[in-house]
Amino acid sequence: MKTLIRFYLPALLLLAGTGYAGTPPGDPLEKEKIAIRNVIVKETDSYYRQDFAAWKSTYVDAPYFRLYGYWEGYAEKVKYYNGFKALETVKKKQFDENRTLWQTAEVVRENENFRIYGEVAWYTCEETSYDRHTRKLLGKAVETRILEKHDGQWKIAYLGFHYLPLKAE
């Protein structure tokens, strides 16, 4: 038994010390992952608060911006925007008319994956949205974001989402 402890304990301590379950301490990309998470959280929070300026600041305002998304709640099921101006026009009107859905949503992101290459990164996750007050499930999606650094700040250049159909209750 002592031999087993002497063999496994150092290995376990080494794994625990390196953050095996997460990012190793001193990982040079950890700062970037935190910054990417922060811009994604800011985008979501400002969307639900209908803060147009804050929401817009999280995106690359360029003709190459893309948003492709599926949700069974859309009449057309799939929405897409090529170029940020197209999305900006729709969202500005939506915010002005107070038509943003799920304003009381709380979002949980799991199974995050980051790939960071200098000034460009891609991020995927599973996102679950609940009503903050009732805890009712609003939706579950798989999401992809491609981000770019602009003036030292991460911004979303591509947003893709696929909301999974909800099971009938």
Q: Express each pLDDT in 74-91 by its tens digit.
A: 899 999 999 999 999 999
Q: Is the pLDDT of residue 11 over 70?
A: no
Give the predicted TM-score (pTM) of the model.
Answer: 0.81
Q: How far is CA 98 from the centre of its chain?
A: 23
Q: Which is nearest to 144 in space by CA: 164, 162, 120?
A: 162
Q: What is the DSSP pairing of strand 78-82 with strand 120-131?
A: unpaired
Measured between alpha carbons, how far apart are the two ends of the chain, in Å? 52
Across 107-134, average pLDDT? 96
Higher pLDDT pick, 100 / 92: 92
> Rounded to whole angstroms, how far apart are CA atoms 132 and 102?
9
Query: Which tens digits make up the pLDDT trace of 38-53?
Result: 999 999 999 999 999 9
Q: Is the pLDDT of residue 14 over 50?
A: no
Across 102-108, average pLDDT? 90
> Rounded to whole angstroms, how far apart are CA atoms 101 and 80?
18
